[in-house]
Homo-oligomer: A and B are copies of this chain.
Amino acid sequence: SSATTPIRATLFPGDGIGPEIAESVKQVFQAAEVPIEWEEHYVGDQIDPRTQSFLTWESLESVRRNGVGLKGPMATPIGKGHRSLNLTLRKELNLYANVRPCYSLPGYKTRYDNVNLITIRENTEGEYSGLEHQVVRGVVESLKIITRQASLRVAEYAFHYAKTHGRERVSAIHKANIMQKTDGLFLKCCREVAEKYPEITYEEVVIDNCCMMLVKNPALFDVLVMPNLYGDIISDLCAGLIGGLGLTPSCNIGEGGIALAEAVHGSAPDIAGKNMANPTALLLSSVSMLRHLKLHDKADRIQDAILNTIAEGKFRTADLGGTSTTTDFTKAICDHL
């Protein structure tokens, strides 16, 4: 049984505040008796020739073997010619869908109290192709690549997600009025998949209009699926509606069922080591990881403990206007468990 055979999961504490917020997750998991054994990996301080990256071969192998992982913020080492570590992970592990739930946190007031949506972002191509060149002096171009395969794959993920999570609507976000071929192909794929899910309402929304509607009334949206860059933009916008990236979970889904959950905020070097960081984004990401493992009881308990702690408002970190340390906040969550 799962009580006797722990599930192995990879943990990248990451840089800056990463180790502190990862410690928070470890303590909460211990308090909740989650049957997980962490395999901890750090970003190397030099390029591993086997991955051509600061990510070690062992760390990538660990995620592939375990199928699940949790990742703190990683600051890409300064220097020329290195891909961002985040992008390398997405590419190497073929993490094709980035899922970011975004909901208003009870008791934590922002201008919006009715946010409850999921952004699902194509995570491997589009504007992130890395294909760029100078055509002539003073004229450069970037290639945005959209493929049928990647578009169908993320659309399928989005509709399946909607169906299995009791969601009613999928909105495909695009700019096909301008990029008729690329975004047009993306929409075509979404439409094909939509036909297989007649119980899910499907709509298409132009990205500029979507952003306007999101800030006017985010309750208009449910599940949103979109090409890479639009997902980057809209997921951050949505995070802003409920308080920022410090509060929103994220999970990357790869081929073969790999799931790498991650906090998408930065490594905040200015407050690193000061016991001030807010571990909420990484904690909620760890909850996503548990759901991926179908450990729903544990996920529910931990999520409730986090949300209740924030709702009570007694223990809040500085970014939320409180004075609690990371360890105080973590302890408060553990006490709820």
Contact = CB atoms under 8 A, between A and B. Distances in A.
Interface of A: 84, 87, 110-112, 127-128, 132-135, 137-149, 175, 177-182, 184-185, 207-209, 211-216, 229, 232-237, 239-241, 243-245
Contacts of A215: 111, 215, 237, 240-241
B245 A212 contact: yes
Nearest to A212: B240
Given A140-B185, A143-B141, A132 B236 contact: no
27 contacts: A111-B215, A127-B178, A132-B179, A132-B181, A135-B145, A138-B185, A139-B148, A140-B145, A140-B184, A140-B185, A141-B143, A141-B145, A142-B146, A142-B182, A144-B144, A175-B229, A175-B232, A208-B232, A208-B237, A212-B239, A212-B240, A214-B240, A215-B215, A215-B237, A216-B240, A216-B244, A233-B233
Q: What does DSSP make chain A's interface, helix, strand, loop or mixed?
A: mixed
B216 A236 contact: no
A214 B240 CA distance: 8
A215 B234 CA distance: 11
A102 B312 CA distance: 37
Contacts of A232: 175, 207-208
A244 B147 CA distance: 34
A212 B237 contact: yes
Given A212-B237, A212-B239, 16 more contacts: A111-B112, A132-B179, A139-B145, A139-B146, A140-B181, A140-B184, A140-B185, A141-B145, A141-B146, A175-B232, A211-B233, A214-B237, A215-B237, A215-B241, A216-B243, A237-B237
A128 B239 CA distance: 28
B182 A207 contact: no
A170 to B, nearest CB: 21
B144 A141 contact: yes
Nearest to A215: B240
